[in-house]
Amino acid sequence: MTYTAKTFNLPALQGLSEKQIKVHLGLYEGYVKHVNLVMEKIKALTEADAEGNAYLIAELRRRFAFEFDGMRMHEYYFEQFEGEKGGSPESALAKAAAEKYGSGEDFIKHIKEVAGSRGIGWVVVYYDPRPEGAPSGRGTLHTVFVNDHELGQLAGLPVLLALDLWEHAFMVDYVPAEKKNYVDAFLANLNWSVVEKRFDLSR
């Protein structure tokens, strides 16, 4: 099988230039290309001499998670900007966020706080459907900082929101010291109805 880079229907974004988005999409397309390339190389090496190429095949298999997660996390990222901005304070996601963080405003505040962690990586909001520890018994949200997209993900949990904090995501428009401004721009352009739909599908 072969993966194909997705085309995203993105509106003009406040605080994120067309050039910045074009550069970022180019990086995403590179991940898609290399997902396919790794699979092709593994297949070719296996067919040629599986035993003799075992070391090379093993290293490519380790590399696969980097390329695949890079591809998929960027798809989560760009999908969040598609469509007209929406979101409801009465949504199931809003209620879950209020239960975990106190209010929708405190949820946003917490995302910004996590995004302020030193270093490069991702802020990822997950939903854990298992009820252990949740006051309502319905599961809970987790907002975490993931340094490398192929490492540190919370196993088995659906991604609701993905905020790319690698410098390629904002360095056309902002210097590293202005990362906070980039986070503000990301949240200003986020279509919360996309995140709400992911939450609804995860339950």
How does pLDDT run across 18-74, given as a tens digit for each residue?
999 999 999 999 999 999 999 999 999 999 999 999 999 999 999 999 999 999 999
Residue 10 lies in a domain: no
Phi, psi at 94, each rounded to 5°: -60, -40
The token duo for 190 is: 């986020």
172 and 100 in a single domain? The answer is yes
d(CA 111, CA 62): 30
The token duo for 173 is: 């428009």
Mind listing the pLDDT tens digit for each residue in 22-38? 999 999 999 999 999 99
- Examine the fold and report which residue of 79, 110, 125 is the final residue of a domain before the chain moves on: 79
74 and 96 in a single domain? The answer is no
pTM of the model: 0.93
168 and 117 in a single domain? The answer is yes
Confidence of residue 4 (pLDDT cuts 50, 70, 90): very high
Q: Give me the number of domains the chain comprises.
A: 2
Decide: 127 and 199 in contact? Cβ < 8 Å: yes
35 and 125 in a single domain? The answer is no
Give yes or no for residue 137 having a pLDDT over 90: no
40 and 135 in a single domain? The answer is no
Report the CATH number at residue 129. 3.55.40.20
Confidence of residue 97 (pLDDT cuts 50, 70, 90): very high
| DSSP letter for each residue of 98-149 | HHHHSSHHHHHHHHHHHHTSSSS-EEEEEEE-S-TT-TTSS-EEEEEEESST
Decide: 154 and 144 in contact? Cβ < 8 Å: yes
Domain, as residue range, for 58: 18-79
